[in-house]
Amino acid sequence: MKKVLFFWVAVCSMLTASAQQRPQFGEKPKLVVGIVVDQMRWDYLSRYYNKFGEDGFRRLIDQGYSFDNCLINYLPTVTAIGHTSAYTGTTPAFHGICGNNFFIDGKDTYCCSDKTVQPVGSDNQKAGCMSPVNLLSTTIGDQLRLHTDFKAKVIGVSYKDRASILPAGHSGNAAYWLDTKNRQFITSTYYMQELPQWAKAYNKQLAKNKEFEKVGKDVGLYPLTGHITTDMAIAALKGERLGQGEETDMLCVSYSQTDVIGHKWGTRGDHTDEVYLELDKDLTRLFAALDEQVGRGNYLVFLTADHGAAHNNQFMQDNKLHAGKWASDNVKKELEQYIASKLGAAKPVVLGIYDYRIFLDHQGIAEQGLELQRVKDVAIEYLRQSPNLSFVVDYEKAAMAPVSQFLRERMINGYNFHRSGDIIVCVEPGYYEYGSWSSPTGTTHGEWNPYDAHIPLLFYGWKVPHGASPREVHITDIAPTVCAWLHIQQPNACIGEALQFSK
Ligand SMILES: [Zn+2]
């Protein structure tokens, strides 16, 4: 009898312990901090673990919770889509951000370009005419704002406009990004007419930054961008008194220098080592500022990446590994010639090849009296003969395509018929798109393979137990998890699931 009683006491106390890990209704953190590290492969966590200090990345690993197998569940794996999917819990099919650049019904569009708004903080039209106008669904921040009758403050900060604007959503109070020409953080009239005093004060400091003056517009190639982004995030934290109101606030910080450096110098070498170790120090500073202002245990952090990156193709070949270049410029030229010779198209019919997707000119095809399906079939016929492609799929027939279910699902998740083009290809493992813009020592990303699609996912802080899980989860699970913990509705096109933190 005693044994049975002891057993029940043990079970009950275990249940109480696990119940306590989850926030109860009425409980809420003071602040949510979302951190996205652009181009951070999951394996960088272990590669640099012994070199990291205790209070940056390692605070999240050693004290927080790591989902060790977080994958991106759509194609292509690029920056704007990654940021959007993490914060909306959904994929391009629903949120409509189908690339950094894509065609909307045949019109070449930059993801955040908005000619109806003006820059605020500089007169640089090219850098400042930006907003979330092309985003079709809500973000975590939008839901937080809705839930609190717009009392919660939501702010985005990054070097890249898209990495600041898309996380902050439609109703974010502000998104700030760097105008590298004027060396200032700016925003647009979508958010406000004038920068707040604290932002102007920080910009004054930035104008005197000698290191920034020296490197100028190339700042993205230096760890300095991480320092500046952190300074701006801390300035926003203090200036807006985030985490000090009645409602939960949200700060979305994205670090982009890691991507710029990766594109230039690849996944290996001094530049990449330096930028991650410097970023570790930036995170240490950010967490210290959060501890001081909001208090340890009062804020909830998640850290992830928008995508990873392949190893440099030459580095792979030098080490006898299968890899190479896929020259999309040449493919486009040859594809045009092939279609012209087969169908007699007098004018070009390919608008562009963006991120392994072929965008056809529907209007031009119709004007030439050609049938779209016939053009697609001929294009596919050519692409299937072209080297180093594993799969060539007509998007409209993807559901029936003879490719694995795993890949089919990722293609369809990424497909929005107004914005994603007509044909998607997958290159052989180790291969990547290479053009006149590519750095021979660098890398890129965009594919489904683990090097591009396996990203860190760490939670830390308010109510988060220490632990790790090896199970497969997805970038689209981040938003519903945060929303579940805040007891707020999920974003309005969310397809992910709220994750359990089991010890
Ligand atoms: Zn990139």
Q: What is the 3-state secondary structure (H, E, C) of 377-398?
A: HHHHHHHHHCCCEEEEEEHHHH
Cα(first)–Cα(last) distance of the chain, in Å? 30
Report the separation in Å between the CA atom of 14 and the middle of ligand 1, taken as the mean of its atom positions. 45
Report the separation in Å between the CA atom of 52 and the middle of ligand 1, taken as the mean of its atom positions. 24
Neighbouring residues of 196: CB distance < 8 A, sequence distance ≥ 6: 174, 239, 240
Q: How far apart are CA 393 and CA 398, in angstroms?
A: 6
Closest to 493 in 3D by CA, of 147, 140, 201, 174? 140
Report the separation in Å between the CA atom of 444 and the middle of ligand 1, taken as the mean of its atom positions. 6
- From the candidates 79, 139, 267, 481, give the one annotated as an active-site residue: 79
Closest to 288 in 3D by CA, of 244, 241, 231, 248? 231
Report the separation in Å between the CA atom of 440 and the middle of ligand 1, taken as the mean of its atom positions. 15
412: helix, strand or coil: helix
Per-residue CA distances from 333 to 107, 163, 379 (Å): 20, 32, 12
Note down pLDDT in tens along the chain; length 503 residues.
445 544 454 444 444 444 446 789 999 999 999 999 999 999 999 999 999 999 999 999 999 999 999 999 999 999 999 999 999 999 999 999 999 999 998 999 999 999 999 999 999 999 999 999 999 999 999 999 999 999 999 999 999 999 999 999 999 999 999 999 999 999 999 999 999 999 999 999 999 999 999 999 999 999 999 999 999 999 999 999 999 999 999 999 999 999 999 999 999 999 999 999 999 999 999 999 999 999 999 999 999 999 999 999 999 999 999 999 999 999 999 999 999 999 998 999 999 999 999 999 999 999 999 999 999 999 999 999 999 999 999 999 999 999 999 999 999 999 999 999 999 999 999 999 999 999 999 999 999 999 999 999 999 999 999 999 999 999 999 999 999 999 999 999 999 999 999 87
Closest to 105 in 3D by CA, of 342, 388, 360, 276? 360
Q: Are 249 and 31 in contact (CB under 8 A)?
A: yes
Give 342: exposed, middle or buried? Use CB within 10 Å, 0-12, 13-18, 19+. middle
Q: Can you give the pTM of this predicted structure? A: 0.95
Closest to 398 in 3D by CA, of 378, 382, 420? 420
Q: Report CA 278 to chain centroid distance, whole Å.
A: 20
Q: Are 33 and 438 in contact (CB under 8 A)?
A: no
Give 210: exposed, middle or buried? Use CB within 10 Å, 0-12, 13-18, 19+. exposed
Report the separation in Å between the CA atom of 243 and the middle of ligand 1, taken as the mean of its atom positions. 32
Establish whether 284 is a catalytic residue: no
Report the separation in Å between the CA atom of 383 and the middle of ligand 1, taken as the mean of its atom positions. 25
Closest to 305 in 3D by CA, of 441, 182, 475, 176? 475
Q: How far apart are CA 386 and CA 326, in angstroms?
A: 10
Report the separation in Å between the CA atom of 215 and the middle of ligand 1, taken as the mean of its atom positions. 21
Q: What is the CA radius of gyration of the chain?
A: 23
Neighbouring residues of 81: CB distance < 8 A, sequence distance ≥ 6: 74, 91, 92, 97, 98, 99, 306, 414
DSSP 160: S
Report the separation in Å between the CA atom of 112 and the middle of ligand 1, taken as the mean of its atom positions. 16
Q: How far apart are CA 95 and CA 489, in angstroms?
A: 17
Report the separation in Å between the CA atom of 45 and the middle of ligand 1, taken as the mean of its atom positions. 19
